[in-house]
Amino acid sequence: MGRELPGDPASLISPAGEKPGAGSLPDDAEVCSCNGVTKGAICGAIAEGACDIAQIKGCTNAGTTCGGCLPTVKQLLASSGVEMSKALCEHFEQSRAELFQIVQATGIRTFSALIERHGTGRGCDICKPVAASILASTDSDHILHRSQAGLQDTNDHFLANIQKNGTYSVVPRMPGGECTAEQLIVIGEVARDFGLYVKMTGGQRVDLFGARVEQLPLIWKRLVDAGMESGQAYGKSLRTVKSCVGSTWCRYGVQDSVGMAVDLENRYRGLRSPHKLKFGVSGCARECAEARGKDVGIIATEGGWNLYVCGNGGQSPKHAQLLAGGLDDETLVKYIDRFLMFYVRTADRLQRTAPWLDALDGGLDHLRAVICEDSLGIGEELEASMAKHVAGYKDEWAGVLEDPEKLARFVSFVNAPDEEDPTVQFDDSGARKVPVLMGMPAVRTGEAE
C-alpha cells in the first residue's frame, strides 16, 4: 500500500483474521485502474448525491471499462449508508439471479418475451448481454440464433475478441494444452496465409492476432476441418483447463492430470456463466499448473483429488480454498457440476467466483454444505442441469459455418460486403507485427457545386 497498514499485519494474513473492507482504503487508493479513479473521487461523487452504480459511472467513469472494480464500488456505496438496489438495470427490477430463476421456471426463450412480461422499455447494453447469457445457460440454442444475435456484445457477436485496431483474435481450443502435430501445422499455415501474429498464451494454447472480420469464417473453416473448435476466448464461459504433464511423464506426478484436464474441459466447454471461468489441474502438490489461482483448482494426492474453488488473479488476486479432499474421479466431477451450476444460478452480473464467495451468506462453510452435503436438496437438480448442457453442446464456430444467415454477419460494411476496412493497417518493419491505429476515413460533406 506504500503506507502504514490499516490493522495488525498478522490479522491481515491470517485466514481467521478480520479483513479490512473497501472503507479502510486511503482516499488516494486507486479503485478503478482502467480509468485511474480513486476511492476519494468515488466517495466524493457519493457525497454529492450519486446513489447508484449508474450515477457513479457517469460522474467518475469508474467501472465503465472492464467492470472489475464494481464490487469495490458497491462496497463503498453500502458503507456510506446508501441502500443498494438489487435491480439489474433500469429495465429490470430483478437481480441477475432472479432473472435466471424466471427464465428457468417459465421456459421463456426470447428477450422480447422476457422484457414484455417481467421488465419495461426495450432493454440496454447491460440487460441484453445478461439475458443472452442466461438463455445460453438454460438451453443449447446457438448464441447467434435469430433474435439472440442482437443481444450479444461485440466479442460474442463475431465469436472473437476485438483488438485495439479493429481486428480480431482467433483462439482454437486445446483441452489440457494438448495438440496434434497435424493441428499445429494447420495453425502455422493459417497464420502464414493470413499474415497473423502468433502468441502462446498462459492458458496453454495459441492466439492468432490480426484477423479481419471477413477473414474469420475462412480461418475457422480450415481449423474446424482440422478437428479444432472454438476456444471461446471471447465469451463469459470456460476458457481453459491448465495442466502439468502429471503421472504420465513426470516422476513426481501421482495422478493423470492431463487426462483429467482434458475430460473437464471437454465436459464444461461452452458453459455460459456470469463471468469467465478458469481451471487448473496439478499432478502433485508442487502445483505446476497453478491450480490454486483458478476458479476451480484440482491438485492430485496419493489418495485422490483435492478440490479448490473460487481463486483468481486479476485486480484482487485470491487463493482458491479447499472445498473437499481425497475425492475419486466420479465424486470430483459431481462436486464440480454442482459448484458451477450453483454459481451460474446465483452470482451477479460480471461477478467472478471469488467475490461471489465473499458475498455468499455463510461463506465457504455454506458452500461446502450445499455442494458436498446437499443441504438445500438441489444436488440432483444441479447435476441434471449440467448433464443437459453437456448433452446439448455444439461448437459455436461450426454452427456459423453451416448457416449462411450467420455467415452473412461477418463483413466490415453491411452495404458493401466485399469491401475491406481501410482503417485496418499493420507495421511489419520490426521483429513483431503490430497494429497501427488509424483515424477514421475522411467524410465528404457534400459542398455546393
Q: Which three cell numbers stand for residue 374?
A: 446437499
- The pTM for the full model equals 0.86
Say yes or no: 247 and 101 in one domain.
Answer: no
Query: What's the pLDDT score for residue 20?
Result: 64
Examine the domain organization and report whether 274 and 317 are in the same domain: yes
Q: Is 272 exposed, middle or buried (0-12, 13-18, 19+ CB in 10 A)?
A: buried
What pLDDT shows up at residue 192? 96
Does a structural domain hold residue 201?
A: yes
Q: Write the pLDDT tens digit of every residue in 219-233.
A: 999 999 999 999 999
Residue 442 lies in a domain: no
Kindly state the cell numbers that stand for 120: 419495461
Q: What does the pLDDT average to over 74-95?
A: 86
Please compute the mean of the pLDDT values over residues 291-297 and round it to a whole number: 97
* 127 and 218, same domain (yes or no): no
| 445: pLDDT strictly greater than 50 | no
Alpha carbon distance 356, 343 (integer Å): 8
- As a whole number of angstroms, the distance between CA 409 and CA 373 comes to 47
To the nearest 10°, the Cα dihedral for 359, 360, 362, 366?
-150
Question: What is the mean predicted confidence (pLDDT) over 1-24?
Answer: 68
The answer to whether residues 42 and 120 belong to one domain is no
Of the residues 392, 421, 444, which one is the last residue of a structural domain? 392
Q: Are residues 217 and 338 in the same domain?
A: yes
Same domain (yes/no): 105, 64: no
| 323 pLDDT above the threshold of 80 | yes
Q: How confident is the model at residue 182 (pLDDT cuts 50, 70, 90)?
A: very high
| pLDDT above 50 for 214 | yes
Residue 25 lies in a domain: yes
Answer yes or no: is 437 within a domain: no
Q: Which of 85-89, 106-110, 241-245, 359-363 has the lowest mean pLDDT?
A: 85-89
Task: Say whether both 195 and 304 belong to one domain.
Answer: yes
Which residues have CB under 8 Å from 43's CB, separation 6+?
27, 76, 80
Residue ending a domain, among 392, 413, 437, is 392
Residues 397 and 229 sit within 8 Å (Cβ to Cβ)? yes
Mean pLDDT of 26-43: 90
pLDDT digit string (tens) for 141-153?
A: 899 988 889 899 8
Between 23-32, 81-90, 420-429, 440-449, the lowest mean confidence (pLDDT) is in 440-449
Residue 76 has pLDDT above 60, yes or no: yes
Residue 441 pLDDT greater than 60, yes or no: no
Q: Are residues 147 and 102 in the same domain?
A: yes
pLDDT tier, 360 (very low <50, low <70, confident <90, very high otherwise): very high
Query: Same structural domain for residues 226 and 362?
Result: yes
Give the end of a domain, one of 54, 79, 104. Answer: 79
Return the pLDDT at 19: 61
CATH code of the domain containing 377: 3.30.413.10
pLDDT at 336 over 50: yes
- Asked if residues 225 and 183 have their Cβ atoms less than 8 Å apart, the reply is no
Q: Which range among 287-296, 398-407, 435-444 shows the weakest confidence by mean pLDDT?
A: 435-444
Tell me which residue range forms the domain holding 117.
96-152
What is the domain count for the chain? Answer: 3
Does residue 162 belong to any structural domain of this protein? no
Q: Which residues of 419-436 are buried (b: 16+ CB within 10 A; e: fewer)?
A: eebeebeeeeeeeeebbe
Cell numbers describing residue 9: 499485519
Residue bearing the bigger pLDDT, 81 or 63: 63
Contact between 6 and 29 under an 8 Å Cβ cutoff? The reply is no
Q: Where are the alpha helices (DSSP H) in 297-403?
A: 329-346, 353-359, 363-372, 379-392, 396-401
Question: What integer best gives the mean pLDDT of the chain?
Answer: 90
- Residue that the C-alpha cell 463503498 belongs to: 76
Q: Is the pLDDT of residue 105 over 70?
A: yes
CATH of the domain at 47: 1.10.10.1100
Task: For residue 14, tell me if it sits in a domain.
Answer: yes
Q: What is the mean pLDDT of residues 89-118?
A: 95
Average the pLDDT over each of 143-152, 285-294, 394-403, 430-439 and give the range with the smallest value. Answer: 430-439
Average pLDDT score over residue span 414-422: 87
Give the pLDDT of residue 439. Answer: 58
How much is the average pLDDT of 346-356?
Answer: 93
